[in-house]
Amino acid sequence: MSTDRAALFDVDGTLTDTNHLHVVSWWEALRQAGHRVPAHAVHRALGLPGEDLLDHLLGEERDRSGDEGISAAHDTLYATYFERIPSFDAAADLLRALAGDGWKVVLVTSAKDRELEALRKAIDADDAITDTATSEDVDQGKPAPDQVRHALGLAGVPPERAVFVGDSVWDMQAATRAGVSAVGLLCGGIPREDLEEAGAAAVYRDPADLLAGLDASPFLRVPATSGDGAAAG
């Protein structure tokens, strides 16, 4: 059995305080295309890949001819924030604490290219990050388990040797469908009850709160070695 452990992390709303920026960017892109979508609905859809997000907000039976333009408008609007993206307090400290304890840290995100570069710059913990699994690597993004399974493959660990941390219902569903213990963070703006209902084994306020409670978190239930009996109940 593998003795490696993987700490899988969503990025937007989990490590970086960017959900509100995405809401504004998607809301404006949709408005420019003639769609009136409430900001709260956009917020609830965050975490889905772009095409699935539009399906969720506009319906799967819609005319898709404008989708590319909407996504391009979102990307252009969001890119104006790249140099100002803030990470949450202790996000880098959390990743380094886990890496220092032997965990392979893998980012699981829909971001790619310049956006991913901007997010990693904001987190400022590249020394602690082992790899990145993006939605471009799989046929289906969250809440399907494909992306989480791809991350497990990158880390070389089975599901029971991993913990996934995210802020959305889609994160919790993707992790549990892949057989991975899920930890929810409230800093993305989704209520505790929704995260728990979607499969969160534990919920914390933000990265700092998780870091402070790391020794009593689901991370403790994955022992450093597969046979040392250190797992917690």
Residue 112: its pLDDT value, please? 87
Q: Look up the pTM and report it.
A: 0.93
Q: Which long-range contacts (CB under 8 A, 24 or more apart) does 116-120 make?
A: 118/82, 118/83, 118/85, 119/11, 119/12, 119/15, 119/16, 119/18, 119/85
Of 73, 80, 81, give the one whose Cα is nearest residue 54: 73
pLDDT tens-digit map of 131-174:
999 888 999 989 999 999 999 999 999 999 999 999 999 999 99
Q: Which domains does the chain have, with CATH numbers?
A: 5-17+86-221 (3.40.50.1000), 19-80 (1.10.150)
Residue 226: its pLDDT value, please? 54
Residue 224: its pLDDT value, please? 86
Low-confidence residues in the chain, pLDDT < 70: 1-3, 226-233
Residue 2: its pLDDT value, please? 59
